Structure 1
Amino acid sequence: MQLGTRWSVGATAPEAVPPAVRVAIASEEQILRDQQVDTTAWRWTLTWLERRPVVELDDGTTIRQHADGSISLTRPDPDDD
């Protein structure tokens, strides 16, 4: 795994983040705004697994770009405390 970087929710993602992942991040951030979730202290973390980006939000939401270019988004299970 290659270490990446962190940035705040609402800030511009690093240049290394592929466009399709940026779209997924923007969509997730819009959902959080629509739900009026306070994300002022939340950050995204970018890492690389097998040269593909993995972006994780502080709440556990994870966005991955797969080898075929597809994007998956996994949210934490609210019942899994």
Structure 2
Amino acid sequence: MQLGTRWSAGGDPPARLTEAFVAQVRAVEADLPAGERGVARWTLTWLEGRPVAELDLGIVVTLDHTGRVVVRHDDEDEFG
């Protein structure tokens, strides 16, 4: 695992992320209650070269083994 960075929901994600990945991050942020925007924070790490962005509210945006962007809640099984 490689440590990345943190940023506030609604802020600018790291430029290294693909457009498709950022689009899913923005879609998650669009569904947040107004009071969470700018308060909730994303943590970006890299696992096996793939980005994993976790919102401190428990929402995870990552890439699957085919490169497809996946959104899940941290209590869901990543492989099921």
- Measured against the shorter chain, the TM-score band is 0.7 to 0.9
- RMSD over aligned Cα, in angstroms? 1.4
Deviation at 1:71, TM superposition (A): 1.2
Give the TM-score normalised by structure 1: 0.82
Give the TM-score normalised by structure 2: 0.83
In structure 1, C-alpha distance between the alignment counterparts of 2:20 and 2:3, rounded to whole Å = 20
Deviation at 1:66, TM superposition (A): 2.1
| Correspondence 1:57-76 to 2 at 5 A | 57-76=55-74
Number of aligned positions between the proteins: 74
Structure 1 residue ranges without an equivalent (≥5):
none
Deviation at 1:67, TM superposition (A): 3.0
Runs in 1 of length 4+ with deviation above 6 angstroms? Answer: none
Deviation at 1:75, TM superposition (A): 2.1
Structure 2 residue ranges without an equivalent (≥5):
76-80
Q: Radius of gyration: which is bigger?
A: 1
Q: Percent identity?
A: 41
Deviation at 1:37, TM superposition (A): 4.6
Deviation at 1:76, TM superposition (A): 4.8
1:24-71: CA deviation from partner (whole Å, max 9, x where unpaired): 001011111xxx352132110110000000000011100111231111
